[in-house]
Every structure is written in C-alpha cells, then in structure tokens.
Amino acid sequence: MEILKKITECKSIVDDIKKRGLTIGFVPTMGFLHEGHLSLIRKAKKECDRIFISIFVNPLQFGPGEDFKNYPRDMKRDISMAGNAGADYIFYPAAKEMYGQDFKTAVEVKELGDIMCGEYRPGHFSGVATVVLKFFNIVKPDRAYFGQKDYQQLVIIKRMVCDMNLDVKITGCPTVREKDGLALSSRNKYLSAGERKSAAVLFGCLTEAKDMIKKGEKDLEKIRKTIMTKLKKNRSVRKVDYFDFRDPGTLEHIKRVNKENRNILAAIAVRIGKTRLIDNMIIKV
Ligand code: PAF
C-alpha cells in the first residue's frame, strides 16, 4: 500500500490506473478508522480494481468551538487497518496541500445543508461537499462509498453528484453497530465508561419509534413527542438537537404515515456529555 501526500502524485497514479482501463473505488475518511470504514473498503474492493481511501481531518467542516483540534488521530493504526481491509492507496494530504494560502471556493448544497445537523452545525455540509468534490477531482473514482450513519451527508453528496454531472456512482453502506446498538463512530472515543453505556439510548429511541410504527401508529408527531419526553427525562442526555421523521430521499418532514411513505427516515442527534452523537434508521412501512 502506498501513502500519497501530494495532489500531483495522486493524480499521476490515477492517470496511470485509468490508462490501464482499471476502475477506482474511493472511501473518503477522516481517519481513526473503525469497522464501519473497513466495511466500506471491503465493499469497494469487491466492486473495483484499485482502492483509494483518503485520511484528512477537514478543517472546513468544523465550526468554531467544535472538535477539530481534538479529533482522534492514529495514522499508524489506520495504515495497517486500511491495508488489511484491501486499500491500495491512502491519500493523506496536509491542510496546506488541500487549501493552499488563497482558497476561496465553497460548494453549497442549498436547503439540504441547512436542516437537521446543518441547523446546529452551520457551514458543516458546505465544508463536506467542498472537500468531497476536491477529492473526486483528484482521485477520479468510478465509485465512492459512504456510511449511512451520516445519512444527511450521503443525501447531500448524491445531490451534488447529480447537480454537477459528476461521473461517480455513490454507494451508501449500512451502519455498523456495537452489540448494544451504538453506531460505530470515531467520536465514540470521547465517551467516558458511563457515557458509553448511556449512548445506547440513540439506538433505543430509533428502535422504539420503529416498533410504534410497526404496531400501526400513524401519527409521527405523537411518536416524536413520546421519544422527546423520554430523551428529556434521561439525565445522561445533556441536549437533544433533534429527533425527526423525514423522507429518506428529500429529507422533508413527515408528520403522518400514509400510503405515499414506503420508507421513513428516523434521525436523531443528541449530546451525551461533551460528545455530539447522531444516528438514524430507515423504517419500512
Ligand atoms: O464522513 C466523513 O468522515 C467526512 O465528512 C468526509 C466524507 C470524509 C469528508 O471530510
């Protein structure tokens, strides 16, 4: 496996691969890899000839007061995990390499970037879309793989690819979970032992909502209020950013189950201690 720090180096390897008629699979990451990332790399390996991953803690997608400086990093461990999962190249640029001195461009996916997590993290999705578009122009992947845990991110990237006529197929892959349901995330590292136990509440709420829908409850606003009350009573939940039902394609609010909703996205974002955690579930009706 090769580690590429320079954009020119990466582009010239990509050109070579393309000349040989081979396909490129790409998994963008911010490092501190876990089984969720590895599942994306393995999926890419099954479908593509050469696998690139990027490891880049992207300053553009962190707001003031967020965890950019403390974001967990462990390059040695990442290299061995990525290699074992089947990555061929790690693109590992410095921030200066990506943004230089005079970077002025931002990609904004309107509306989709302002709701849900966007409401609590202004500018976050513009930072994500901007860096992902740059990666796509550098790595020129045939296919790119994203975790469904960041469901809103996945919808935004798909919208950008469609709107900007990019020749890359985006694949969303299932969330990988711990035994108690907690979705894997590099940020789980921030949780104390007590907080880690409490963090199962996210999956618990999503499951409870699913069960209520499956039992025939059509009033999603009623379910939402029940879950919100439960979350507010939970002393380990410091703040609830949202618990929402949305259309999985458009991310529009859904208030009632009706014939048109075949799938409903339940999404949650809460703060446990200092850690902001998100999760979601697609509920089939
Ligand atoms: O999901 C992530 O880890 C990041 O948002 C991504 C897609 C690598 C962009 O920095």
257: how many CB neighbours lie within 10 A of its CB? 18
Task: Report the b/e string of 208-247 with b at 16+ CB within 10 A.
Answer: bbbebbeeeeeebeebbebbeeebeebeebeebbbbbbbe
16-58 pLDDT, tens digit each: 999 999 999 999 999 999 999 999 999 999 999 999 999 999 9
CA–CA separation, 124 and 15 (whole Å) = 31
CA–CA separation, 61 and 98 (whole Å) = 13
Give the per-residue pLDDT at 266.
98
Give the per-residue pLDDT at 68.
97
Report H helices in 171-274. 193-198, 201-214, 220-233
209 alpha carbon to ligand 1 midpoint, in Å?
28
Any ligand 1 atom below 6 A from CB of 28? yes
260 alpha carbon to ligand 1 midpoint, in Å?
32
178 alpha carbon to ligand 1 midpoint, in Å?
21
Give the per-residue pLDDT at 260.
83
What does the block give as tokens for 26?
A: 């790409």
What does the block give as tokens for 31?
A: 């490092």
CA angle 59, 170, 94 (to 5 degrees): 25
136-157 pLDDT, tens digit each: 999 999 999 999 999 999 999 9
Mean pLDDT value across residues 213-225: 97
147 alpha carbon to ligand 1 midpoint, in Å?
10
For atom 3 of ligand 1, which residue has the closest CA?
29
53-85 pLDDT, tens digit each: 999 999 999 999 999 999 999 999 999 999 999
Specify whether 124 is catalytic: no
CA atoms within 13 A on the CB side of 52: 26
CA–CA separation, 198 and 215 (whole Å) = 26
For atom 7 of ligand 1, which residue has the closest CA?
28
13 alpha carbon to ligand 1 midpoint, in Å?
23
Atom of ligand 1 minimally distant from the CA of 147: 1
DSSP 149: G
Give the per-residue pLDDT at 94.
98
Atom of ligand 1 minimally distant from the CA of 186: 3
Give the per-residue pLDDT at 49.
98
118 alpha carbon to ligand 1 midpoint, in Å?
14
Atom of ligand 1 minimally distant from the CA of 28: 8
Give the per-residue pLDDT at 259.
84
157-192 pLDDT, tens digit each: 999 999 999 999 999 999 999 999 999 999 999 999
Tell me the best of 150, 170, 176 to mutate to test the pocket of ligand 1, counting ligand atoms within 8 Å of each CB and taking the most: 150
Please name every residue paired with 278 in a beta bridge, in sequence order, or none if there are none: 269
Give the per-residue pLDDT at 32.
98
Give the per-residue pLDDT at 11.
98
Give the per-residue pLDDT at 89.
98
Tell me the best of 132, 161, 280 to mutate to test the pocket of ligand 1, counting ligand atoms within 8 Å of each CB and taking the most: 132
Mean pLDDT value across residues 234-252: 96
Give the per-residue pLDDT at 210.
98
245-280 pLDDT, tens digit each: 999 999 999 999 998 888 999 999 999 999 999 999
Which band of pLDDT confidence, cut at 50, 70 and 90, is reported for residue 116? very high
Domains with residue ranges and CATH for the chain: 2-173 (3.40.50.620), 186-280 (3.30.1300.10)
Give the per-residue pLDDT at 225.
97
Mean pLDDT value across residues 73-102: 97
Any ligand 1 atom below 6 A from CB of 98? no
For atom 1 of ligand 1, which residue has the closest CA?
29
Atom of ligand 1 minimally distant from the CA of 150: 1
Give the per-residue pLDDT at 119.
98
Mean pLDDT value across residues 107-127: 98
Give the per-residue pLDDT at 261.
81
For atom 5 of ligand 1, which residue has the closest CA?
128
User: 34, 37, 124, 253: which is the annotated catalytic residue?
Assistant: 37
- What's this model's pTM, rounded to 2 decimal places? 0.98
